[in-house]
């Protein structure tokens, strides 16, 4: 064991001196206080005194403005805007604005549905993308179109009433609630007929019928029979009206009707065959 009594005082190995105090500028100086975070400048968005910016209200003419009433709402009964009786730009001739009252009772009211005027029908066709060509239509043609339109709707309603009577409903309380066109959506029945070689319908409507408080959907397919002379008489359209397969009741009624049609066709066939045999024997 070595003797340490002769180690000079200035030797680093001598008794350890106290740790020197760090300079004042040192962040670890014991006298240094923790520096406070400087406050952001007033123009800074994070400044405590700056309030959040208020979102400006949209201009009154904006469709999203709460107070905007310029955009007319659609009628939920037929998904159509309010009646437009104003002539369209570049319309080649004036059209009648008179509307005819139908015989179809309107649901929720004591009255009947009202048919569109010639001007309303013209504007509706333009809204759906139709564009007239010079000399393609005359004022008299529009009168024929409106007459055929009304004639077909009256016939379609009579077919609905036949179905309701076949079911045993009280037809006095059967009314048309609303309707809509689905020309681009072929019904399953129309597609099946097309597979058998028949033409597809040129139009389709879905009617919602109020049957004593219960809503029933009917499908109406419009077929062109190919009779050009029928354009002026309204007899060039064949209607296929039936209740949609939306309920067990509708399925039963359509099944009953199909069986009766098949039975009637079979009886007629056998009668004609029997009469033909008798004619040959005579």
Residues 256 and 243: their CA atoms lie apart, in Å, by: 12
Mean confidence (pLDDT) of the chain: 78
- 148 and 253 inside one domain: no
- 40 has a pLDDT exceeding 80: no
- 275 and 241 inside one domain: no
Beta-strand pair 214-224/237-243: antiparallel
- pLDDT (tens digit per residue) in 66-98: 444 444 566 666 556 667 889 988 888 999 999
- 210 and 141 inside one domain: yes
Query: Given this model, what pLDDT does residue 33 score?
Result: 45
Query: What pTM was computed for the model?
Result: 0.66
Is 267 part of a structural domain of the chain?
A: yes
- 137 and 254 inside one domain: no
Q: What is the mean pLDDT of residues 242-265?
A: 93
- 163 and 241 inside one domain: yes
- pLDDT (tens digit per residue) in 105-139: 999 999 999 999 999 999 988 887 887 776 678 88
Query: Given this model, what pLDDT does residue 248 score?
Result: 94
- pLDDT (tens digit per residue) in 137-163: 888 888 988 999 999 999 999 999 999
- 123 and 203 inside one domain: yes
Query: Given this model, what pLDDT does residue 276 score?
Result: 74
- 214 and 108 inside one domain: yes
Query: Given this model, what pLDDT does residue 30 score?
Result: 46
Is 38 part of a structural domain of the chain?
A: no
Q: Are 160 and 209 spatial neighbours (Cβ–Cβ below 8 Å)?
A: yes
Query: Given this model, what pLDDT does residue 64 score?
Result: 40
Q: What is the mean pLDDT of residues 43-48?
A: 52
Q: How many domains does the chain have?
A: 2
**Domain of residue 133, residue span:** 101-246
Query: Given this model, what pLDDT does residue 252 score?
Result: 94
Q: Which residues pair with 241 in a beta bridge?
A: 220
Is 63 part of a structural domain of the chain?
A: no
Supply 32's token pair. Answer: 């240094």
Q: Give the residue with greater pLDDT, 43 vs 148.
A: 148
Percent with pLDDT over 90 in the chain: 46
């Amino acid at each position: 064991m070595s003797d340490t009594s002769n180690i000079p005082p200035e030797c680093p190995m001598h008794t350890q001196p106290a740790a020197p105090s760090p300079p004042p500028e040192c962040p670890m100086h014991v006298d240094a206080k923790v520096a406070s975070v400087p406050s952001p400048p007033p123009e800074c968005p994070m400044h405590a005194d700056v309030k959040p910016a208020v979102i400006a209200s949209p201009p009154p003419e904006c469709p999203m403005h709460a107070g905007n009433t310029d955009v007319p709402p659609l009628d939920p009964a037929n998904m159509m805007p309010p009646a437009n009786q104003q002539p369209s730009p570049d319309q080649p001739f004036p059209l009648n604005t008179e509307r005819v009252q139908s015989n179809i009772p309107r649901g929720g009211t004591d009255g009947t549905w009202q048919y569109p005027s010639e001007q309303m029908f013209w504007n509706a066709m333009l809204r759906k993308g139709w564009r007239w060509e010079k000399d393609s239509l005359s004022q008299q043609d529009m009168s024929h179109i409106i007459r055929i339109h009304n004639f077909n709707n009256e016939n379609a309603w009579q077919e609905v009433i036949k179905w309701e009577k076949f079911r045993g409903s009280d037809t006095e309380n059967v009314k048309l609630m609303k309707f809509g066109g689905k020309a681009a959506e072929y019904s399953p029945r129309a597609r099946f007929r097309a597979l058998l070689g028949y033409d597809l319908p040129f139009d389709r409507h879905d009617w919602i019928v109020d049957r004593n408080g219960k809503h029933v959907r009917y499908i109406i397919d419009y077929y062109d029979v190919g009779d050009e002379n029928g354009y002026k008489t309204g007899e060039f359209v064949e209607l296929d009206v039936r209740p949609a397969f939306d309920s067990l009741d509708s399925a039963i009624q359509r099944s009953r009707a199909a069986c009766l049609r098949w039975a009637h066709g079979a009886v007629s066939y056998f009668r004609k065959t029997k009469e033909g045999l008798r004619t040959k024997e005579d």
